[in-house]
Amino acid sequence: MKNYQKYRPYETVDLKDRTWPNKKIEKAPIWCSVDLRDGNQALETPMGLNQKLNFFNFLVKTGFKEIEIGFPAASDTEYEFTRELIENRLIPDDVTVQVLTQSRGHIIERTFKALRGVKKAVVHLYNSTSTLQRDVVFGNSKEQTIDLAVYGAKLVKEMAAKYPETDFTFEYSPESFTGTEMDFAAEICNAVIDVWEPTPEKKVIINLPSTVEMGTPNLYADQIEYMGRNLKNRENVIISLHAHNDRGTAVAATELAMMAGADRVEGTLFGNGERTGNCDIMNVGMNLFTQGIDPGLDFSNINDLIEIYESSTRMNVHPRHPYAGELVYTAFSGSHQDAIRKGMEAMKKHPDRWEVPYLPIDPVDVGRTYDPIIRINSQSGKGGVTFILEQNYGLHMPKSFQKDVGAVVTHVSDELQSEVSPEKIYEIFKQEYVDIRTPFQLTTHRSTTVDSDWDIVNIEAEILYKGEKHFITGEGNGVVSAFCRAIEDFLNIHIDIIDYRGHSMELGTKARAISYIETRGENGKRYYGAGTSSSVSKSSLRAVVSTVNKMLRDMEKTEEE
């Protein structure tokens, strides 16, 4: 890492008389979920209408009273979702929806059009204020940046007056706040506050986003305390946080900023969002819970939370994710297991006070159990199956491969209506994934380098297909790629390699290699296969053969149906 000299620490405030380090968090903030906007816009495949409706209903059930539902002027889908909620009366009376808008006239007008008929709504106005954004992206001066914010604030106020049936709350964000000079951040926010004229009955929200984490969490807290001291009409202003996770400290930054006087927190479940994501609201809420503070949100069945998140975002919750991961209530270490067992035994003497070594919360409080020993049955997930294959047989599968194997094993267990032994798990793994040789089989192959600069390889292979011998050739970026191209030409199928990994299964000179391949067929379905050999190259080609055979069997089954 020789390039560290090109980076500079960024500090925008020098607060020597800070008071927040002596404060304690004593109550939950106002929560606002931005899963359906900030989280959704960061997805490779954004949620459809029904997915957003299901997620919205879950957020309501969890206890969120403020939910940012989208950027209705940005796309037809966002607009239609807003109208769907309003026209079908799907928003409970005690829930306020929030929408985002840039400080641009036609966008603000379309935003209010999308909200017509809603009972309560937060209109969230923003424009970029940081030195980098002003200089590089927009070429605006400070005066022009303030003029833009004031223009938007005035138009929002005028448009709201046209819809007297709706109780509007106004929110302003100086985007890239953490990269903005603090005196200028206060100046532009105060200019907006002057336009909106908040009162005790009609407060405004000033949202101070860590759009990009640019420093340690304590710096964000200093910035929040500075703004709290310098905002006009502070008693009628709700200071809101929106921390991103570029440095991996969004939760810590949010907690310190709450100590610094923030009233409200925007974030997402499991921290989904642009780049490294947002502040994880579940994480912050459960941290409050462990300190004896009611978070005001219901995380008593964490598995439901995981289900809605994974099905909606098509992403996975990490097995070590705080409070929610598959393995966070499982101890593999014998000394840990012993300490936990003794702690649980001691709990019988004081059941009203949780004190168990290695377990900061009672797993039962989030609908889970403590698992001292991995045992696999129909209710087991990929984590347990992965642990067995890794610990007992030295198999280190890629994450997506783990999920597929876990589903196959638990399906077998469900059919058998019994627990599955480690030996049976390994047998299932070999049968379903390893060195599958029908109807397609590799017998011999030879590869040559065509262009060493670009790693272009040509392969000539002898194969058996449905018992008949054939010779195939192909060229590609490496042996695996060349082999796939040869198979594609021969079988007239499409093979898209998603992941390829391998490792040695045993130590010593007689070590065997295993390779894992994940491919995607023309129908978009993913196939997983593995190959073993004393040769790494041959194990990878056998893994390709395994996936191809699974693909062929699937195609034959479809044709029969």
Tens of pLDDT, residue by residue over 189-236, are: 999 999 999 999 999 999 999 999 999 999 999 999 999 999 999 999
pLDDT band at 535; cut points 50, 70, 90:
confident
> Mean pLDDT over all residues of the chain?
91
Contact between 529 and 549 (Cβ < 8 Å):
yes
Q: How far apart are CA 198 and CA 526, in angstroms?
A: 55
Strand order from edge to edge, sheet including 526-533: 496-504, 513-520, 526-533
377 has pLDDT over 60: no
The separation between CA 490 and the C-alpha centre of its own chain, rounded to angstroms, equals 40
507 has pLDDT over 80: no
Which of 412, 408, 364, 418 lies closest to 386, judged by CA? 408
Tens of pLDDT, residue by residue over 200-212, are: 999 999 999 999 9
At 422 the pLDDT is 84
At 379 the pLDDT is 53
Tens of pLDDT, residue by residue over 161-185, are: 999 999 999 999 999 999 999 999 9
Q: What percent of the chain has pLDDT over 90?
A: 74
At 213 the pLDDT is 94
Residue where the block lists tokens 């209506």: 417
Tens of pLDDT, residue by residue over 449-473, are: 887 777 789 999 999 999 999 999 9
283 has pLDDT over 90: yes
Are domains 28-296 and 440-560 of this chain identical in fold?
Answer: no
Q: How far apart are CA 257 and CA 243, in angstroms?
A: 10
Q: Which residue has the higher pLDDT, 400 or 195?
A: 195
At 313 the pLDDT is 93
312 has pLDDT over 60: yes
Tens of pLDDT, residue by residue over 256-280, are: 999 999 999 999 999 999 999 999 9
Tell me which CATH code domain 440-560 carries: 3.30.160.270
Phi first, then psi, for residue 344 (nearest 5°) are -70, -35
180, 201, 299, 394 from 391: Cα distances, Å: 50, 61, 32, 6
446 has pLDDT over 60: yes
Indicate whether this model's pTM tops 0.85: no
Tens of pLDDT, residue by residue over 87-103, are: 999 999 999 999 999 99
At 326 the pLDDT is 87
Q: Where are the domains of the chain?
A: 28-296, 334-427, 440-560
At 333 the pLDDT is 63
At 339 the pLDDT is 81
Tell me which CATH code domain 28-296 carries: 3.20.20.70
At 338 the pLDDT is 74
Contact between 127 and 175 (Cβ < 8 Å):
yes
At 14 the pLDDT is 87
At 390 the pLDDT is 83
Section 6-32 average pLDDT: 92
Residue where the block lists tokens 């957020």: 59
Token readout for 32 is 């606002």
pLDDT band at 391; cut points 50, 70, 90:
confident
Contacts of 6 (CB under 8 A, 6+ apart): none
374 has pLDDT over 60: no
Kindly state the helix (H) or strand (E) to which residue 220 belongs, with its residue range: helix 217-230
Helix (H, G, I), strand (E, B) or coil at 69: strand
At 510 the pLDDT is 60
At 380 the pLDDT is 53
Tens of pLDDT, residue by residue over 476-504, are: 988 999 999 999 999 999 999 999 999 98
- State which of 105-119, 363-377, 403-417 shows the largest mean pLDDT: 105-119
Section 543-550 average pLDDT: 96
At 383 the pLDDT is 63
At 384 the pLDDT is 64
Phi first, then psi, for residue 269 (nearest 5°) are -70, 130
At 444 the pLDDT is 94
Section 42-46 average pLDDT: 90
